[in-house]
Structure 1
Amino acid sequence: MRPRLPPNVPLSLLANSLSSPLPCTLAHLMVSQERQEPALPLPSNSSSAKRAAASMDASSPAPPLLLRAPTPSPSIDLPAAAGKAAAVFDLRREPKIPAPFLWPHEEARPTSAAELEVPVVDVGVLRNGDRAGLRRAAAQVASACATHGFFQVCGHGVDAALGRAALDGASDFFRLPLADKQRARRVPGTVSGYTSAHADRFASKLPWKETLSFGFHDGAASPVVVDYFTGTLGQDFEPMGRVYQRYCEKMKELSLTIMELLELSLGVERGYYREFFEDSRSIMRCNYYPPCPEPERTLGTGPHCDPTALTILLQDDVGGLEVLVDGEWRPVRPVPGAMVINIGDTFMIMDINIGPLHLRKYTANYFHLWTWDDGRGR
């Protein structure tokens, strides 16, 4: 899997949530445009011009928007845990791609392959008594698990307003001045916090993105996400923390519902996966892809597999996700209101009925993507 930075799309956000020390689930959230930031570049062939049609295709030529020239601010140096300075890039202010972000042409070039057809599964059939629909959903998921490991879900019960609030909160955070975001800077060796392009971990082929991650556990005595935001960023961020607390709770509910469907699809005893993953610790990850001056030369995230059991991705209608199938990078078209589900390494190890996992990446929107701290993706 890889996230492709679609040409000229001004902004993308990706958030992963719900992964665990006993790896459980990873939930993602993606948005492509900063609606209240008119200075962001939006060239005439932007794929965002067809957002209403949920298409990744470029629009017909149209007059470009007038843009404000970016203020050069290449990077700042902050102390690293090992005693040496770690570069922190302010990507929104970069007039050109710094050398550490350049990827080899054969890795960063856009794909020309056809879209990957992934089934859209109605998980509501688990609750509405539609037995024929349940058999159909189970067959769709079984087929996806045996091939590329991707499917999309609708009827999931996650309120659209909550998803929108989570996207807006991420957008608001990443619009903050760099110094403010650095108050939440991730300490090397830990999971939670803010990072800029993982420059503290890698020196080359950096991903064109910023991330904010925080943990979640629904068995905690207090709202852990709210506590993280107020303890790290201050009381002014309590409302944002409450949005993400609720979003993480809904992602946990959805992940357990999907586990029930996987039980049916793979012929596993009812309740086995749900019980196994019910007491899990999770992480929510928000990835932001700033406007990129040369998206064909970099990636929002490099090719990777998720080490968790399950990935839940909420993306907007611009997309950028690509999956490697039969040697070709195939884009996955966003479906309005649906969430993309990806079976991860941990789940594949648990069940012999799941086929080989497929790499994915995210492309740069004038961007690619990564996950996790195991070094396989950036």
Structure 2
Amino acid sequence: MKVESPVEDGGVEEGKGAEVTGPGHVYDKGVKYLTERGLAVLPDKYVLPPHERPRPKERDSSPRRSGHGMRLPMVDFQELQGPNRRRVVESIAEACEKHGFFQVVNHGIPTEVLSDMIDMSTGFFEQPFEERARYMSPDMFSPVRYGTSMNQNNDTVLCWRDFLKITCPPTISEGSFRHWPSSPADFRKSVARYAMETKHMFLVLMEAILEGLLIRHKPNKQGQGPGADNIRDVRNRSEFDNVMEMFRGGSQLMVMNCYPPCPQPNLTLGMSPHSDYGFLTLLLQDNVEGLQLHHEEKWVTVHPVPGSFSVNVGDHLEIFSNGRYRSVLHRVLANHTKSRVSVVSIHSFPFDATVRPWAELVDEANPSLYRDTSFACFMDYISSSEPKRKNFLESRKLPS
């Protein structure tokens, strides 16, 4: 197969991004670049082996026709602040155990903050290639990076996705985002506010998740978690407070994803099956379906709920919970007619911190099941290996 477009196979367009992209193939410029030039046939570099392609029945998201659509467990964020907190804490714990995903509604983030974030993401990707290319870099540690696929240097088959990754400091101030894109207008202001709002949501959710872990899973002689009658006793634990302090000073990666219309979506994926590296991922998406999670041995489409967030357990939370909560495989379908935009906010401990099973959940009868890990371990792994499914997390498991 060949690219049916007027671009050349080699070289990089002149401009500010030329020196960082190098003399690579046209595919290094991203799928948005290809579609802007009238791509009509999917290049071989994006064609998955037959056994990895989405099956026709998995692509049909209509529950009536396929049975493969689902709505995630719903969490009412406002109720975490009220008299029903205990019930909501336990519902989050159940969602983390059984699904690894849940949907957050009534989160209190103003509608205009969400719409501005989608608009700014869309606006960034709609800029001329020369403007986007200013942020292209092969350096996976770059704090602001525009790229394509998962890891275009190592992936055997590229994904049908472009992304803009931004590393957010624990405390956002005007000086901290001077390296962020300044275009479209108000980009920095909108992204900064969104980052602060999602960081607050993450902290509230993790406080509830820690409570749930202690109540349901902390081992003791009676087989009951502490604080069963008084959650506030759990929340006052010094170890609990230490972990929350790590989260307050923790890492936040913002990734804006663009999935342009694909000429042959049955042959590729927007993102291949994977799990996320952090504790929690908060997903904001437009109204175009595409996200699928692996649930009960089949791929199911997650229907977007306007104004809500999809939240999923990451690898670090699986390690921290000592396997009680599982990060779940998910993927993104390509679309033939519509462009899709999503924003993920990935949260964890500080980049230089170590993640290990929480001491509160480990004893002689419940030994640690995972090796210590860190962001550096993760980056070393994906820099040298093609990331697939949950292979990084599998590499951190201790022999049983």
TM over 0.5: yes
What is the letter of the counterpart of residue 129 of structure 2?
L
- Would the alpha carbon gap of residues 75 and 321 (structure 1) be closer, same or farther in structure 2, given more than 3 Å must change? farther
The alpha carbon displacement at 1:276 in A equals 2.7
Find the aligned partners of 2:116 and 2:388 in 1 and give their Cα distance.
28
Structure 2 matches for 1:25-36, cutoff 5 A? none
Query: Could you tell me which residue of structure 2 aligns to residue 263 of structure 1?
Result: 210
- Which residue is 1:55 aligned to? none
Q: How far apart in 1 are the matches of 2:120 and 2:9?
A: 25
- Match of 2:42? 97
Structure 1 match to 2:198 = 251
Give 3-state SS (helix, strand or coil) of 2:286's partner: coil
CA distance in 2, matches of 1:186, 1:81: 5
1:125 and 2:76 matched: no
CA contact (8 A) 2:145 2:164 kept: yes
SS at match of 2:140: coil
The answer to whether structure 1 residue 146 and structure 2 residue 97 are counterparts is: yes
**CA deviations over 1:82-139 (Å, ceiling 9, x no partner):** 9762532413232221110111233222414522442110011122x2x2x3233122
In the alignment, which residue of structure 1 is the partner of 2:11?
A: 77
Distance of 1:85 and 1:243 partners within structure 2: 33
SS of residue matched to 1:302: strand
Q: Which runs of 5+ in 1 are unaligned?
A: 1-69
C-alpha contact (below 8 Å) 2:281/2:311 kept by paired residues: yes
In structure 2, give the amino acid aligned to 1:349.
I
- Higher share in helix: 2
Which letter does structure 2 place at the counterpart of 1:91? L
Deviations 1:221-252 (A, max 9, x none): 64423x123xxx55x55611111011101111
Q: Which amino acid aligns with 2:387?
A: R
Superposition pairs of residues 72-221 of structure 1, within 5 angstroms: 72-73=6-7, 77-78=11-12, 85-86=24-25, 87-89=28-30, 90-92=33-35, 93=37, 94-110=39-55, 111=58, 112-127=66-81, 129=82, 131=83, 133-191=84-142, 192-197=144-149, 200-202=152-154, 204-219=156-171
- Once the two structures are aligned, what percentage of the paired residues are identical? 27
2:273 counterpart SS class:
coil
Alpha carbons of 1:113 and 1:157: their partners in 2 closer, same or farther (altered >3 Å)? same
Shift of 1:346: 0.4
Say whether residues 1:376 and 2:327 are aligned partners.
Answer: no
Q: CA deviation at 1:140?
A: 1.6
Question: Does the 8 Å contact 2:170/2:252 carry over to 1?
Answer: no
Which amino acid is 1:244 matched to? V
Q: Partner amino acid for 1:115?
A: G
Larger RCO of the pair (alpha carbons < 8 Å, separation 6+): 1
Question: Which ranges of structure 2 fall in alignment gaps of 5 or more residues?
Answer: 13-17, 59-65, 216-233, 347-377, 390-400
Matched residue, 1:349:
319
8 Å CA contact retained: 2:80, 2:89: no
User: Which amino acid in structure 2 is aligned with residue 85 of structure 1?
Assistant: G
Say yes or no: does 1:322 pair with 2:292: yes
| TM-score for both structures, normalised by structure 2 | 0.68
Q: Which residue of 2 aligns with 1:302?
A: 272
> For the aligned residues, what is the CA RMSD?
2.9
Residue aligned with 1:336, SS? coil
Are the equivalent residues in 1 in contact too, given 2:47–2:157 (CA < 8 A)?
yes
- Give distance in 1, aligned partners of 2:195 and 2:173: 16
With normalisation by structure 1, the TM-score equals: 0.71
1:143: Cα distance to partner?
A: 1.1
User: Which amino acid is 1:77 matched to?
Assistant: G
Distance 1:155 1:300 in 2: 29
Hey, what does 1:312 align to over in structure 2? 282
Letter in 1 for 2:11: D
SS at match of 2:299: strand
Further displaced range: 353-362 or 209-218: 353-362
Deviation track 1:153-192 (CA, whole Å, cap 9, x = no partner) reads 1121111111101111111110111122101112423242
CA distance in 1 between counterparts of 2:327 and 2:149 reads: 26
What CA deviation, in whole Å up to 9, does each residue of 1:315-335 have, x standing for no partner? 222221111123211111212
Given that 1:77 and 1:88 are in contact with CA atoms closer than 8 Å, whether structure 2 keeps it comes out as: no
**What is the CA distance between 1:376 and its match in structure 2?**
2.0
CA distance in 2, matches of 1:357, 1:98: 32
* Bigger-Rg structure (1/2): 2
Query: What is the alpha-carbon distance in structure 1 between the residues aligned to residue 212 and residue 151 of structure 2?
Result: 41
2:332 corresponds to 1:362: yes
Partners of 1:276 and 1:353 lie apart in 2 by: 20
Change in Cα spacing, 1:177 to 1:197, as seen in structure 2 (3 Å) is farther
Once the two structures are overlaid, the 10-residue window that deviates more, 259-268 or 109-118, is: 109-118
CA deviation profile, 1:304-348 (whole Å, cap 9, x unmatched): 010111000012222211111232111112122210110101011
8 Å contact kept, 2:163–2:258: yes
Equivalents in 1 of 2:173, 2:44: separation in Å? 46
